Amino acid sequence: MVRITPMASTLRPSLGSSFLSSSSSARLGVSLSSWNPTRPPSFAHLGSAVPQLHSFGLKTSKLLREGSSSSIVASGKAAQASTSSVEENVLEWVKKDNRRMLHVVYRVGDLDRTIKFYTECLGMKLLRKRDIPEERYTNAFLGYGPEDSHFVIELTYNYGVDKYDIGNGFGHFGIAVEDVAKTVDLIKAKGGKVTREPGPVKGGKSIIAFIEDPDGYKFELIERGPTPEPLCQVMLRVGDLDRAIEFYKKAFGMELLRTRDNPEYKYTIAMMGYGPEDTNPVMEFTYNYGVTEYDKGNAYAQIAIGTDDVYKTAEAIKLCGGRITREPGPLPGINTKITACLDPDGWKTVCHLAFEVTSTDFMLSISV
């Protein structure tokens, strides 16, 4: 009688970290339940072939081993294909998502002083204001139209803090005005600080000027005809322009509107947004030759972007190299869902459902 001893170590494929974990198999929809490592192989179906198996045990073992390896490789390829498909679907969804820039948040040392400057010198309207004494801060929203249809400013005043460090990473905000020279004269009359007199931009024809608000935030005044979005730019400096462009295109679905290289002054800019510059707010990213890092200070906080789905948005951000700082989900006590992240340069963005932008409780809960 010939005795056959099952070669369990030969037949049992390895499913360690080099292949696929149980958690990742569940996420990718790959089932491992059909494989039972404790069940010995059955040779009943081999019948009279048993002696041949004994005679050619090494060769048979090799064939079984190769078959197991082929199965593992095939499963691995299937898992990779599944992952690629999921990633592609998420990034394609981003392009179709209903997105827009909602507001920009930053901190000021004297809220009433800043409100007075913005309304009297820049023509903004105070949209709403709310004090939260138990949290020791106050918020004010200003802009050129309602929050549900316009890009607006959210100012935060923290009790007892009268000064912040703007750093050198934040650049400026852009305001479109019909007459730059006239606006500059008004600002001077109100005691405002003009850091660049009205004139054409270097290498172009657009008339611009630069001013500073009472906290030192810079504003670029851009001469432009009537526009639905006078608050038109947020400029941030980045250490890798191509990386920033790819991140905001893929993670946030922004369009690259234009780039301009200025070798004479050793910088390059990229304009990105959800529509043309003359009718929509845009992000202006600036890369200064050879500078990869900036001091962001503690004054500028974040921008907010509306989305139809914070969960899919968070997935896209992760796929594109962003870091989630608040996992997607509802805020405590209310149903508003948000997610927050840092881009590859460390700039913060908060995303939430676009139709919930007028929720006062939501706005105030993420401002400080």
Cα gap 215→5, rounded to integer Å: 82
Cα gap 223→225, rounded to integer Å: 7
* DSSP H/E element including 208: strand 207-212
Nearest to 358 by CA among 198, 25, 127: 127
Cα gap 366→346, rounded to integer Å: 17
Cα gap 230→123, rounded to integer Å: 10
Q: CA separation (Å) from 195 to 73, 220, 258?
A: 64, 10, 26
What's at 152, amino acid-wise? V
Cα gap 144→295, rounded to integer Å: 31
Chain CA centroid to CA 42, Å: 54
181: its two tokens = 């020279």
Binding residues: 154, 172, 220
Q: Report the phi/psi class of residue 78: left, alpha or beta, with left for phi > 0 and alpha for psi in -120 to 50.
A: alpha
The string over 254-263, giving b where at least 16 C-beta atoms fall within 10 Å of a residue's C-beta and e elsewhere, is: beebeeeeee
Strand partners, 284: 235, 271
Nearest to 75 by CA among 44, 32, 106: 32
Nearest to 40 by CA among 75, 1, 5: 5
Task: Confirm whether 255 is a catalytic residue.
Answer: no
Binding residues for Zn(2+): 154, 172, 220
Among 88, 92, 220, 315, the one annotated catalytic: 220
Cα gap 175→220, rounded to integer Å: 6
Positions annotated as catalytic residues are 220
